[in-house]
Structure 1
């Protein structure tokens, strides 16, 4: 009798056990779902961070591009470049011509003379670059013409109307000094009395020829007895620093020669 009752009680407990097992499985299932959701949230967060970094990088690249464009535009504005030269040189207000091979440092020298401070130029002059320099007594108008092959055809055209010639050479570029000499002598050969001021530039470089070497390499002793010839060693080093005394002396001399030629 007692055994029968015990069996009956055990039988009654079975549904409860099944119910408890069902609850346990459901709880485990919920944990799995929550775990899966948690992983998905972590992945989504990682994706969001990656998108944020990519967006930040993109904005930085755009900012760099804008800064580069602004710098390039500023450089062009500083150079006052005229991409298309006038058909004829101006009759009035004769200019001081600044010529020389490409890479000699003409623009850097010219802007440094104008500002009385070292002003580097990294962009080559593609065309014409007009700069006015004021002194205590007068205003000088300089015209630089690009030194690369396409622009050399304009050199002689403007030389006939120039007050004087400033010719810039790279003292450290030994291989191109013969080329510079050839073009210089071709230019001055058309005008036997035009004053000549030569800037032996980049004197700060270790490989630079000294003044006496430049004088010989350019054969300046052969430019004519009736011509005023001057040779200055120049350098444009630390940006923003005051120009060397030699460049100040050269500027004063150019102003004096220009006044005499007008």
Structure 2
């Protein structure tokens, strides 16, 4: 089989293994909750306190039809340089924002815009999508994860997981 990059997974030269994998990139500023999001999705309790991810963190979650690989890249300034290299290589981008950290929301916005991700309104205007359906959808979902340990059964997390599975199917 030929070596395909994850961003080219939809090509006609796919291996069986590539057909059965979906990739999700999880980005956000340091301390936004990316690692906690991955832990809770994988059924583990959140850790107490903030432990920054130095480099990468990944979780593979099996589903009935395929495996979901979630890749987190740390949110520190020196790691954000690499984000853009991965955005086009995955099936879904999840950008985590700590809504309680009001002072850093403009910073999170700036980093998201560096990825050249446009809002739905911008996309509709720039591409004239008002009359047709877009193939790329943007969802704003809120999930609160308390430090003491809600499980993967927390309603917000369950909703996000179901949406991810629907998007990846």
Superposed, 1:168-207 pairs within 5 Å as 168-189=96-117
Q: Kindly tell me: are residues 230 and 174 of structure 1, through their superposed partners in 2, closer, same or farther at Cα, counting changes over 3 Å?
A: same
Does residue 248 of the first structure (1) align with residue 162 of the second (2)?
Answer: no
RCO greater where, 1 or 2, for CA within 8 Å and sep 6 or more?
A: 2
Q: Is residue 163–residue 258 contact of structure 1 (8 Å, CA) maintained in 2?
A: yes
Q: Corresponding residue for 2:167? A: 257
After TM superposition, the score normalised by the length of structure 2 is: 0.74
Question: SS of the counterpart of 2:139?
Answer: strand
Query: Aligned residue pairs: how many?
Result: 140
Question: SS of the counterpart of 2:115?
Answer: helix
Q: Corresponding residue for 1:97? A: 25
1:224 alignment partner, one of 114, 117, 123: 123
Does residue 120 of the first structure (1) align with residue 47 of the second (2)?
Answer: yes
RMSD of the TM alignment (CA)?
Answer: 2.1
Q: Is residue 60–residue 70 contact of structure 2 (8 Å, CA) maintained in 1?
A: yes
Q: Is residue 42–residue 59 contact of structure 2 (8 Å, CA) maintained in 1?
A: yes
Pairwise CA distance, 1:240: 5.4
Q: Corresponding residue for 2:14? A: none
1:139 alignment partner, one of 58, 63, 67: 67
Structure 1 distance, partners of 2:92, 2:116, is: 10
Q: Corresponding residue for 1:149? A: 77
Question: SS of the counterpart of 2:166?
Answer: helix
After TM superposition, the score normalised by the length of structure 1 is: 0.49
Q: Corresponding residue for 1:46? A: none
Return structure 1 stretches of 4+ with deviation > 6 angstroms: none
Pairwise CA distance, 1:119: 2.5
Structure 1 distance, partners of 2:45, 2:68, is: 19
Q: Is residue 55–residue 73 contact of structure 2 (8 Å, CA) maintained in 1?
A: yes
> Normalized per residue, which structure has more helix?
1
Whose radius of gyration is greater, 1 or 2? 1
Q: Kindly tell me: are residues 102 and 130 of structure 1, through their superposed partners in 2, closer, same or farther at Cα, counting changes over 3 Å?
A: same
For structure 2, the residue ranges without an aligned partner over 5 or more in a row are 7-17, 125-133
Structure 2 distance, partners of 1:223, 1:114, is: 34
